Amino acid sequence: MQRFTDKKSYSSELRSLLLFRPLNDDEIAKFADRSEIIAYKENEKIVVEGEVDPSFFVVIRGMVNVTVEQKGNDVFISAIGPGDVFGEAAMFMKVKRTADVIAAQDTVLLRIQRPELMGFIKDYPRAGNKILMLIIYSLLRKLRAANQELAFERRADIHQDDVDALVAQLAGS
């Protein structure tokens, strides 16, 4: 992990990311001032499942993999690339992380802690509300994908005809 202090060199990349598109250059700079820009090497762990950490991340460059541990094995959940965010729940709740996040390649992230984000929202409510709306959008997009995956899995597990046949058999018809 390597922290960068020269955030201005990333300003054009930040401007191109979905989270910052609604903000002007001054608002992006003020947000960046409250954040850290951190580089991770391939296979470096960024988030550890089970830890409580009030950090929210934006992928500037590179790619990260989200995995969960099940029965001693790492199960791949998703890949997150430039412009995507993770750790949204940490902005709203003090809960344990639900997954590991590992750099899939050399990756540069913007990380902001809950107190700094809340301070930004308080000091710049218009810009803060725009960021909150985009965080909510990201959460809803992830929820939709999870719902579609769950529906697909359920469809593969059992069909209505199977249920009807089982009910008929149990009813003795």
CA 105 to CA 63: how far, in whole Å? Answer: 6
Count the Cβ atoms, other than its own, within 10 Å of residue 126. Answer: 10
Provide the whole-model pTM: 0.80
pLDDT in tens, 30-71: 999 999 999 999 999 999 999 999 999 999 999 999 999 988
Domain ranges of the chain: 2-171
DSSP 21: T
What residues contact residue 108 under an 8 Å CB cut-off, 6+ apart? Answer: 4, 10, 37, 38, 39, 40, 59, 60, 61, 62
Please tell me the CATH superfamily of domain 2-171, with its number.
Jelly Rolls (2.60.120.10)
More confident: 142 or 7: 142
Tell me: the pLDDT tens digits for 1-40?
Answer: 887 777 777 888 999 999 999 999 999 999 999 999 999 9
Using DSSP's 3-state secondary structure scheme, residue 66 falls into strand
Q: What tokens does 120 get?
A: 């930004």
